[in-house]
């Protein structure tokens, strides 16, 4: 019998296959705090998480039993994968299930940013009627720079094309042919800075992408650019972004992810709109993610078969 700890809010419907499997016994403690997790982790063979929990080397020192960490989502940056591997613990994720949710949230943020919807809503909440204050801009005929042309970047590109935007895509793995097939232009990071009215990020957080959009990058952007980050906190340097917003170089920004989640009170600006890491938070995506993870856990522990390690 394998014992599984679900240490985050994961869709019950998606976990059904695992719950109904006779070889798995599941405990759900979605709000577990790090101290409690440290105390009980050694009772489990499998740990299932989203982004709330950080799996550190120190946490893993408390277990001899854990065999598998399943991340219900794309990013594994909240897991010390090297430390897990050293202990022989397999780490798996669910790379495709969130794609549409993340692309749609990016568009929701981009439209909200362009039309100042959160600011207008807040103003009406205090009984104001400020029509001229909230004049926006259109997406039509604008240039969008997409940094990271993986699954999510591609879905964002398709939607941008439907809005009749010119799409520039940067990705070290993007070929000219692929760009042509998608109807977009392959671009360098600098070209994206020089020409984009909107810049959206869709890369993982790595050593290379940490602070990719920093002070020096913002010196190159088109004045009045709008920046969206629904990928990972830290890819856009928050201090540099606030400076850019203050100087007007950046006309607006939309962040769904933060260096520290939740972020501190200093991360505020009238032209900055924020959501609390909701990119993957749709009913459909959460069911798909949990279903995919459940099947992976069963396949690995029951049949020794790995898909997304």
Show which residues are catalytic. 232, 261, 277
CB within 8 A of 288, min separation 6: which ones?
14, 94, 97, 98
Q: Which two tokens stand for residue 184?
A: 């977009």
Q: Which two tokens stand for residue 23?
A: 């070889």
DSSP-derived letter for residue 41 is G
Pick 52 or 185: Cβ nearer ligand MLT: 52
Pick 197 or 296: Cβ nearer ligand MLT: 296
Q: What minimum distance in Å lies between the beta carbon of 78 and ligand MLT?
A: 8
d(CA 126, CA 110): 24
- Distance, first Cα to last Cα, the chain: 23
In the complex, residue closest to ligand MLT by CB: 73
Q: Which two tokens stand for residue 10?
A: 């994961």
Pick 47 or 221: Cβ nearer ligand MLT: 47
Q: What minimum distance in Å lies between the beta carbon of 200 and ligand MLT?
A: 16
Q: What minimum distance in Å lies between the beta carbon of 275 and ligand MLT?
A: 11
d(CA 119, CA 112): 9
Pick 113 or 205: Cβ nearer ligand MLT: 205
SS3 223: coil
d(CA 24, CA 175): 44
Give the footprint of ligand MLT on this chain (CB under 6 A).
50-51, 73-75, 98, 277, 280
Q: What minimum distance in Å lies between the beta carbon of 96 and ligand MLT?
A: 10
């Amino acid at each position: 019998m394998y014992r599984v700890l679900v240490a985050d809010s994961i869709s019950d419907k998606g976990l059904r296959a695992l719950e109904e499997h006779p070889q798995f016994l599941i405990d759900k403690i979605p709000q577990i705090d790090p101290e409690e997790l440290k105390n009980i982790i050694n009772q489990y063979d499998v740990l299932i998480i989203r982004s709330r929990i950080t799996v550190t080397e120190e946490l893993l020192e408390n277990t001899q039993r854990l065999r598998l960490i399943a991340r219900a989502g794309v990013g594994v940056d909240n897991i010390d994968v090297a430390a897990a591997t050293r202990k022989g613990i397999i780490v798996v994720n669910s790379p495709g299930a969130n794609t549409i949710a993340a692309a749609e949230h990016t568009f929701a943020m981009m439209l909200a940013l362009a039309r100042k919807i959160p600011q207008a809503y807040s103003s009406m909440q205090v009984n104001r009627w400020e029509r001229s204050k909230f004049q926006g801009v259109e997406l039509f005929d604008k240039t969008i720079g997409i940094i990271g042309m993986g699954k999510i970047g591609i879905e964002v590109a398709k939607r941008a094309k439907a809005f009749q935007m010119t799409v520039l895509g940067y990705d070290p793995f993007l070929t000219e042919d692929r760009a042509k097939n998608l109807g977009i232009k392959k671009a360098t990071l600098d070209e994206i800075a020089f020409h984009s009215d909107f810049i959206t990020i869709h890369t993982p957080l790595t050593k290379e992408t940490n602070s990719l959009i920093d002070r020096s990058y913002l010196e190159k952007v088109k004045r009045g650019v709008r920046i969206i980050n629904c990928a990972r906190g830290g890819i856009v340097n928050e201090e540099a972004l606030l400076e850019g917003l203050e100087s007007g170089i950046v006309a607006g920004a939309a962040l769904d992810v933060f260096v520290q989640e939740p972020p501190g009170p200093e991360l505020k600006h009238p032209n900055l709109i924020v959501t609390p890491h909701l990119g993957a938070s749709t009913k459909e995506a959460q069911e798909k993610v949990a279903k995919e993870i459940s099947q992976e856990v069963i396949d690995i522990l029951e049949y020794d078969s790995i898909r997304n390690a």
